[in-house]
A = this chain, B = another copy of it.
Amino acid sequence: MTSTEAREKAVLAAVRERREVVNEAIPEELPVQKPERLYEASRYLLDAGGKRLRPTILLTTAEALADVEPLSEPYRAFPTLEERGYGRTNDTAHVPETIDVMDAAVSVEVIQSFTLIHDDIMDDDDLRRGVPAVHKAYDLETAILAGDTLYSKAFEIMLETGAPSSRTVEALEVLATTCTKICEGQALDVTFEERDDVTPEEYLEMVEQKTAVLYAAAACLPAILLGADDETVDALYGYGLDIGRAFQIHDDVLDLTVPSEKLGKQRGSDLVENKQTLITVHARDQGVDVESLVDTDDVEAVTEAEIDEAVAELEAAGSIEYANEMARDLVEQGKDRLEVLPENEAHELLAELADYLIERSY
């Protein structure tokens, strides 16, 4: 086993441990109640799986901030920074000893699930996480309504952490502006499909809004709720933006380089569907005729040979290496921002999680 493999194995174990506790918390926060069909549809994708990367980052950030051993404190009654002697305020009169950071973690995962349900309708995608998309498993009406229900439930859950009001207000501001930006990013992505002059800066801005803001929210929310200072909140937000953008760029690379069987969908489908990625934006800049790389616009009809040829051309233009380098730079920048945190095991894990996001092969 190489050292990269060993590290990846350790990170995956850490993710798995947190995923298990998050998976227990989801039905507690979102029980299937009347009307059952609505709540079953709302839970459908959440129950179908997912790595729980955003909740993992949130819970690990809480541990790093409070300077406690990973998995040593119950997430449902997690010590505030005042309690740990790291508080930003001397006035601890109204600050509870513990808050429920699991609520914040579930809230973020619920937002993620809501966006997936509505995105699948918008893209008319049939499959998600190996199961039919919600609008296929149920119907359009139920899928729209399930997404809408998760949306308000995420706010309800975030209101239950037991944090002081001023911190709850700040957390809800982050949640609300994050949701708005996700919508804006999705709308921007749609307009890109009709343009052939998207710049790398524009692409990165879109990815920031569509994908990275939720990582940023996951990283900064425990800082807000536990009572860290503004500098720490901002640094963690920046860490999330950096690794979230790197995550998306790496996803775009995987779409070209990982065999279809392993990817769980046709390799190169972004090219077939003319989706803009950092790779195609760069290639176009280098004079590559991106629209002609793949003739067909039918994912079922494309051949592996066609994809191989297209990827070779993108490699020759340096576009894949450009994307890889950008992702690496963003991860390094993100890791540097972690210096606001105390040196501890959870801090280390957050750095390893950042590396994992661009080293994973699926």
Interface residues of A (CB under 8 A from B): 34-35, 37-38, 118, 121-122, 140-142, 144-145, 147-149, 151-153, 155-156, 159, 164-166, 168-169, 172-173, 175-177, 179-180, 183-184, 186-188, 190-191
* Cβ-defined contact, B168 with A152, below 8 A: no
- Report yes or no: B169 in contact with A165, Cβ–Cβ below 8 A: yes
A122 to B38, CA, bound (A): 14
**B-chain residues with CB within 8 Å of residue A186 when the two chains form the complex:** 145
Known: A37-B191, A148-B118, A186-B145. Contact between A180 and B166, CB under 8 A? Answer: no
Q: List 11 A-B contacts (CB under 8 A).
A: A34-B184, A35-B184, A121-B140, A145-B186, A148-B151, A152-B179, A155-B175, A155-B176, A165-B168, A168-B169, A169-B169
Copies of this protein, total = 2
Report whether B159 and A176 are in contact in the complex, using a CB–CB cutoff of 8 Å: yes
Bound-state Cα–Cα, A312 to B262, Å: 66
On whether the beta carbons of B151 and A177 are closer than 8 Å, the reply is no
How distant is the Cα of A358 from the Cα of B186 in the complex, in angstroms? 42
Q: Is B183 touching A38 in the complex (CB atoms < 8 A)?
A: yes
Q: Are A122 and B141 in contact (CB under 8 A)?
A: yes
Docked pose: A113 CA to B6 CA in angstroms? 53
| A175 and chain B: residue at smallest CB distance | B155
A183 partner residues in chain B, CB cutoff 8 A: 38, 145, 148-149, 152
Shortest Cβ distance from A190 into B: residue? B141
* Bound complex: CA A164 to CA B165 (Å): 9
Chain B residue with minimal CB distance to A123?
B141
Query: Cα distance A353–B144 when bound, in Å?
Result: 33
Q: Of the candidates B152, B164, B188, which one forms a contact with A35 in the assembled complex, judged by CB atoms under 8 Å apart?
A: B188
Once the chains are docked, how many angstroms separate the CA of A183 from the CA of B156? 14
CB pair A122–B144 under 8 Å, yes or no, is yes
Known: A35-B184, A37-B187, A159-B172. 4 other contacts (CB 8 A): A149-B184, A153-B180, A155-B175, A172-B172
Pick the contact of A156: B148, B180, B188, B191 (CB < 8 A): B180
Q: Contacts A144-B122, A159-B169 hold; do A176 and B152 have CB atoms under 8 A apart?
A: yes
> Is the beta-carbon distance between A144 and B141 smaller than 8 angstroms?
no
